Amino acid sequence: MSKENFLEVQGLKKYFDVGRQSFFSRQSRSLHAVDGVDFVLQRSEVIALVGESGCGKSTLALLLMGLEDPSDGKVIFQGSDITHLNDVQRKDLRRKIQMVFQDPYESLNPTQTIEEIVTEPLLVHGMADTSDREERVKKAMEDSGLKPAEVYLKRFPHELSGGQRQRVVIAAALVLEPEIILADEPVSMLDVSIRAEIINLLAELRITRQIAVIFITHDLGSVGFFADRVAVMYLGRIVEIGTMLEVLEKPQHPYTKALISVIPVPNPRLRHERIILQGETPNPIDIPKGCRFHPRCPAALEMCNASDPPFVNLSKTHQAACLLLVK
């Protein structure tokens, strides 16, 4: 192996059993939340997973964190399979992969002080007794922009603003010195004027601390500048993946094209035709046959309901799963 991938996801699937359709039917049905996802991630790379609600991006995050068990597929981290681990191995791995959640109001325990929150990961991993505990906590907080740390240590979450709370969540992740941060919609609950500071903070950390970031969002608009690569998900699968510029400037999959066309551009002189898809993402219990996007696809042909499209290589880094691209 010349170059080992830092993190590799192979055919990852997660089905949830949702019970039988009716009392009399025999077949039990399942919800295909994640239905075969592959991608790789390099050290200190930022990949954005983009999709609408119901596309499986949040389930994918829980799978990568080991908070849900996959139904099938593999996750390989630094050459070793981490798909199924026992509790001890999992706990060890947690130090390397940390998560930042969407809602900074909900993801902090209201009864703990900021110091307790940021120290807690050290406590859990038996690293709290070392003499440098305070140093570590302060460094994590100041690296997250909570400067000077002393001002915040004794406060409670409700005394902080939304942006500051999200910084506390990031500090609690940083204190374990992780190598990957999984950020699930980290700015969607924040005011527009302070979103950039959280995104810029994550962008800074990948450089100063060599942290790779998996950035999960429904807002394609917010991934520019920050992401190296973008993966667009629809109904449990990646339908297009490429570098940020490839996906944003030369989208190939009809879904990506539509998604990009409806993102509002903050300039009234650039008002343009929007490709508005009708209806909503189908229920992941009844996945359409053939290409799963064909019932809503403005470019669908007859063949699209017959076969599941393979990934087509558009460049070394750019792939999309659409029959129209097969030459």
Q: Which of residues 135-164 bind another protein (CB under 8 A)?
A: 145, 147, 151, 154-156, 159, 161, 163
* Least Å from the CB of residue 106 to another protein: 4
H or E element, residue 142: helix 133-143
How far apart are alpha carbons 75 and 71 in whole angstroms?
Answer: 12
Question: Which is nearer to another protein, 154 or 326 (by Cβ)?
Answer: 154
Site string for another protein, 239-258 (x = CB under 8 A): -----xx--xx--------x
**Which 85-114 positions form the footprint of another protein (CB under 8 A)?**
87, 90-91, 94-95, 98-99, 101-103, 106-112
Joined together, the tokens standing for residue 158 give 């409700």
* Least Å from the CB of residue 80 to another protein: 18
How far apart are alpha carbons 12 and 231 in whole angstroms?
Answer: 15
**Which 35-74 positions form the footprint of another protein (CB under 8 A)?**
52-53, 65, 67
Residue 176, interface with another protein (CB under 8 A)? yes
Site string for another protein, 198-227 (x = CB under 8 A): -xx-----------------xxxxx-xx--
Question: Which is nearer to another protein, 146 or 312 (by Cβ)?
Answer: 146
Question: Which is nearer to another protein, 46 or 277 (by Cβ)?
Answer: 277
**Which 4-33 positions form the footprint of another protein (CB under 8 A)?**
none
Which DSSP category does 288 fall into? P
* Least Å from the CB of residue 234 to another protein: 11
Which sign, positive or negative, has the C-alpha torsion 179, 84, 216, 103?
Answer: negative
How far apart are alpha carbons 95 and 234 in whole angstroms?
Answer: 30
How far apart are alpha carbons 29 and 22 in whole angstroms?
Answer: 10
Question: Which is nearer to another protein, 131 or 267 (by Cβ)?
Answer: 267
Note the Cα 213 to chain centre separation in Å: 8
121 φ, ψ (degrees, to nearest 5):
-60, -35
Site string for another protein, 298-327 (x = CB under 8 A): ------------------------------
Helix pair 114-124, 162-174: axis angle to 10 deg? 20
Which DSSP category does 275 fall into? -
